[in-house]
Amino acid sequence: GAVVSQHPSWVICKSGTSVKIECRSLDFQATTMFWYRQFPKQSLMLMATSNEGSKATYEQGVEKDKFLINHASLTLSTLTVTSAHPEDSSFYICSARPTGTPKATEAFFGQGTRLTVV
Amino acid sequence: SQQGEEDPQALSIQEGENATMNCSYKTSINNLQWYRQNSGRGLVHLILIRSNEREKHSGRLRVTLDTSKKSSSLLITASRAADTASYFCATVRSEASKIIFGSGTRLSIRP
């Protein structure tokens, strides 16, 4: 089946630094990838839709200058949390929908990245 | 933003019993999907049901969809300890490709 690899699986960083999270589709191309954030015991909240070769589309309330998304190729999207603060500590999950798939079919999810800002 | 709510928020049952989780959503959809998430891990896709379908089966899973009530249910039969996880419904709206998740149900199976 389709595999989405997310790296790193966990990261601890100091407050004020930036952290980059990678999301790769290993055996398929993905024009569209999605980034979610999940706080403990809560659901996944969509942050942004990443589109290959164009700007990401951010959900309401998500700061685009803080959460930088780059989708430079059909197999890689990156999320950079800039000037991280403790309140950014969360579980970040990406998903990717294979190119050419109708909107109706499933997307495939990475294993998530647990970010802890100290 | 979230599409809808799931109930119950938490469910604890004895191994071997059936578990039923419900999902309600707000807008028209193209399809509804159910996912499982083990604690602190990624998501596993369980089943997808399209808006023109009413019921779907996959192994011990049975999903129903009532578009008139904007609701879906997930039934897990003959539960096992390994079914302990959080379960989320997710919808794809007719006019957009975003996958929006419900609030989730935490299922615990007692041995």
pLDDT tens digit string along A17-53? 999 999 999 999 998 899 999 998 889 999 999 988 8
Q: Does B50 touch chain A (CB under 8 A)?
A: yes
Checking if the pLDDT of A106 tops 80, the result is: no
**What stretches in chain B show pLDDT beneath 50?**
none
Tell me what pLDDT residue A4 has: 94
Helix, strand or coil, per DSSP, at residue B80: coil
What one-character-per-residue DSSP string does chain A give? ---EEEE-SEEEE-TT--EEEEEEESSS--SEEEEEEE-TTS-EEEEEEEETTS--EEPTT--TTTEEEEEEETTEEEEEE-S--GGG-EEEEEEEE-TT--TTS--EE---EEEEE-
- What pLDDT score does A24 carry? 96
The predicted structure's pLDDT at residue B5 = 81
Per the CB < 8 A criterion, the answer to whether B44 and B37 are in contact is yes
User: With an 8 Å Cβ cutoff, are A106 and B41 in contact?
Assistant: no
Residues A44-98 pLDDT 10s: 999 999 988 889 999 999 999 999 999 989 999 999 999 999 999 999 999 998 8
Residue B33 DSSP label: E
- pLDDT for A104: 57
Cβ within 8 Å, pair B2-A105: no
In DSSP notation, A47-75 reads: EEEEETTS--EEPTT--TTTEEEEEEETT
The token pair at A35 is 């980034």
The H or E element spanning position B63 is strand B61-66
User: How far off is chain B from A99, nearest CA to CA, in Å?
Assistant: 12
- Rounded Cα distance between A39 and A114, Å, is 10
d(CA B65, CA A70): 37
Comparing CB atoms, the residue among A97, A106, A111 nearest residue B42 is A111
> B8: which DSSP letter?
-
Cβ-defined contact of A32 to B97 (cutoff 8 Å): yes
Lookup: tokens for A87: 């309140």
What is the per-residue pLDDT for A103? 61
**What number of C-beta contacts closer than 8 Å exist between A and B?**
62
Which pLDDT belongs to residue A7? Answer: 96
Calculate ∠ Cα A54-A52-B102, nearest 5°. 100
Cβ of B48: how many Cβ atoms within 10 Å? 18
In the stretch 64-93 of chain B, residues with CB closer than 8 A to chain A read 88, 92
B108 CB near a chain A CB, below 8 Å? no
Chain A interface includes B30 (CB < 8 A): yes
Closest partner residue to A103 (CB to CB) among B30, B40, B100 is B30
